[in-house]
């Protein structure tokens, strides 16, 4: 074996190099194809001395040591470990992508006219049906429920204290119906905004007269339900 190594050295002008990995139990088998930077035998096994030193051929270069493969890693990972970037000599474990956060359900806006009589806070039968259809039907689709926020809003007709109280009672009425349908009361928060958050873009001059003004301001009278689910 020693004479064979020396004959390779004589023919191609090889030099002996050491590896930082120490003694190897397995052969370094070069994958056929391309430039071979190390002396190989008929089995494509890199020729090494008893001290586990690899023979370089005259075609050796740092780039060739990286390019010539021995299995899944460059041959240089074992023969020239100090020259080949370490990231090319380690198994790259793919990072599992984090599961996408569930898309937050869009706020559900219910017209006060669909739920209550004008200036009232008692749910009508049609209002209860609207909540069942628009809100309860969405709860199973959001996985584990975290919170439900019910917001009450009024128009600008009437005093601020009156509208504030009315918006709170309407939000509470919707909560009560959800609880009756099986939603935990601890998961439902209510808040009344009174007339402080009118719908943008709705312009209703007072000159319209009361009847038409009430009709024009209808978009402001609403209950908004915001559903939040726990992450999967």
User: How far from the centroid of its chain's Cα atoms is residue 120's Cα?
Assistant: 44
Range of the domain at 119: 108-229
User: Per-residue pLDDT tens for 175-197?
Assistant: 999 999 999 999 999 999 999 99
* Contacts of 84 by beta carbon, 8 Å cutoff, 6+ apart: 62, 65, 66, 74, 76, 77
> Are 85 and 142 part of one and the same domain?
no
pLDDT at residue 7, rounded to an integer: 35
Specify if 103 maps to a domain.
no
What predicted TM-score, i.e. pTM, was given to this entire model?
Answer: 0.57
Residue 178, pLDDT score: 96
84 and 159 in a common domain:
no
Q: Report the interhelical angle of 125-134 vs 160-180 (nearest 10°).
A: 70
Whether 78 and 120 map to the same domain: the answer is no
From the list 2, 110, 131, the residue with the least C-alpha distance to 55 is 2
Indicate if the pLDDT at residue 4 is higher than 50: no
What digits encode the pLDDT tens for the residues 124-142? 999 999 999 999 988 877 7
**Does any domain span residue 159?**
yes
- Beta-bridge partner residues of 226: 149
Q: What is the pLDDT of residue 12?
A: 42
Domain count, the chain: 2
Look up residue 94 and give its two tokens: 């793919």
- Check whether residue 155 and residue 225 sit in a common domain: yes
Residues 194, 112 share a domain: yes
**In this structure, are 16 and 72 located in the same domain?**
yes
- What integer is the mean pLDDT of 33-47? 88
Q: Give yes or no for a contact between 8 and 60, defined as CB atoms under 8 angstroms apart.
A: no
Q: What CATH number should be reported for the domain holding residue 214? A: 3.30.1330.60
Q: What is the DSSP letter of 225?
A: E
* Lowest mean pLDDT across 17-31, 156-170, 206-220: 17-31
Q: Is residue 22 part of a domain?
A: yes
147 and 153 Cβ atoms separated by less than 8 Å: no
pLDDT band at 88 (very low <50, low <70, confident <90, very high): confident
Boundary of a domain, candidates 89, 117, 147: 89
**Any domain includes 81:** yes
Instruction: State the Cα–Cα distance between residues 125 and 220, nearest whole angstrom.
Output: 22
Whether residue 116 is found in the same domain as residue 193: yes
Mean pLDDT of 215-225: 96
Same domain, 59 and 119: no
């Amino acid at each position: 074996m020693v004479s064979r190594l020396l004959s390779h050295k004589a023919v191609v002008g090889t030099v002996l190099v050491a590896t930082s990995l120490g003694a190897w139990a397995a052969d370094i088998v070069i994958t056929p194809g391309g430039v071979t930077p190390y002396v190989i035998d008929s089995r494509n096994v890199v020729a090494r001395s008893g001290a586990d030193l690899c023979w370089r051929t005259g075609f050796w270069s740092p780039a060739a040591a990286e390019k010539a493969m021995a299995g899944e890693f460059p041959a240089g990972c074992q023969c020239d470990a100090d020259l080949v970037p370490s990231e090319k000599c380690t198994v790259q474990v793919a990072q599992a992508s984090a599961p996408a956060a569930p898309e937050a359900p869009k706020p559900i806006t219910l017209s006060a006219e669909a739920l209550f009589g004008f200036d009232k806070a008692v749910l009508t039968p049609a209002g209860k049906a609207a909540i069942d259809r628009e809100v309860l039907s969405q709860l199973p689709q959001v996985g584990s429920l975290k919170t439900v926020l019910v917001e009450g809003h009024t128009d600008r007709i009437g005093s601020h204290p009156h509208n504030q109280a009315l918006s709170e009672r309407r939000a509470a009425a919707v909560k009560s119906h959800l609880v009756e349908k099986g939603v935990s009361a601890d998961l439902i928060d209510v808040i009344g905004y009174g007339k402080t958050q009118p719908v943008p873009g709705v312009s209703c001059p007072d000159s319209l007269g009361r009847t038409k003004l009430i009709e024009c301001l209808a978009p402001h009278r609403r209950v908004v339900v915001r559903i939040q689910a726990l992450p999967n």
